[in-house]
Amino acid sequence: MRLSRAMVEKLMDIRLRDKLIAEGKITKEEVKKYLESLNDDAKNSVYTDEVADEE
């Protein structure tokens, strides 16, 4: 199961996705379906204050 998930994630990797769409290996509809299946982790985000160096 882990290998199968890794292969799907590799196909949907942003660095490869456009190339694979152009080659016809995946469709835009498959990408859209995959993106819609992802969980929204916004509630788990942590914001930090950016501190400028005063040196």
Domain boundaries, the chain: 2-37
C-alpha 11/C-alpha 28 separation (Å) is 12
Element at 51 (helix H, strand E): none
State the amino acid at position 20 in one-letter form. Answer: L
Res 25: pLDDT: 92
Res 28: pLDDT: 95
Taking the model in full, what pTM does it have?
0.62
C-alpha 7/C-alpha 9 separation (Å) is 5
CB 38 within 8 Å of CB 52: no
pLDDT tens series, the chain, 55 aa: 688 888 888 888 889 999 999 999 999 999 999 999 989 988 988 888 877 666 5
Phi (first) and psi of residue 50, to 5 degrees: -85, 125
Phi (first) and psi of residue 48, to 5 degrees: -125, 155
